[in-house]
Amino acid sequence: MESPFAREGTEDYRRLRGRTALLFSEHMPPDPMPFIRDGLIDAFVVGKPMGAHWCSVH
């Protein structure tokens, strides 16, 4: 699931993590480390429309 929440925080991701079998991706935020450090998403979406790619964080 791509960008199910606003990118400003991580709390929504924390609440949802482990409650679904879906994988989560997010567009690269200014500081990706909280997402990576806490294992909140499975991949980052990088690039522009029509040229975006998934970059796994695992």
Cβ contact 9:29 at 8 Å = no
Domain count for the chain:
1
Residue 2: its pLDDT value, please?
A: 80
pLDDT digits (tens, 9 = 90+) for 1-58: 787 777 677 888 888 888 888 888 888 888 889 989 999 888 888 776 665 555 676 6
Q: Within a 10 A sphere around the Cβ of 40, how many other Cβ atoms?
A: 18
Q: Is residue 24 part of a domain?
A: yes
Strands 53-56, 43-46: pairing is antiparallel
pTM to 2 decimals? 0.67
Q: Is residue 49 part of a domain?
A: yes
Q: Is residue 1 part of a domain?
A: no
Domain containing residue 47 = 11-56
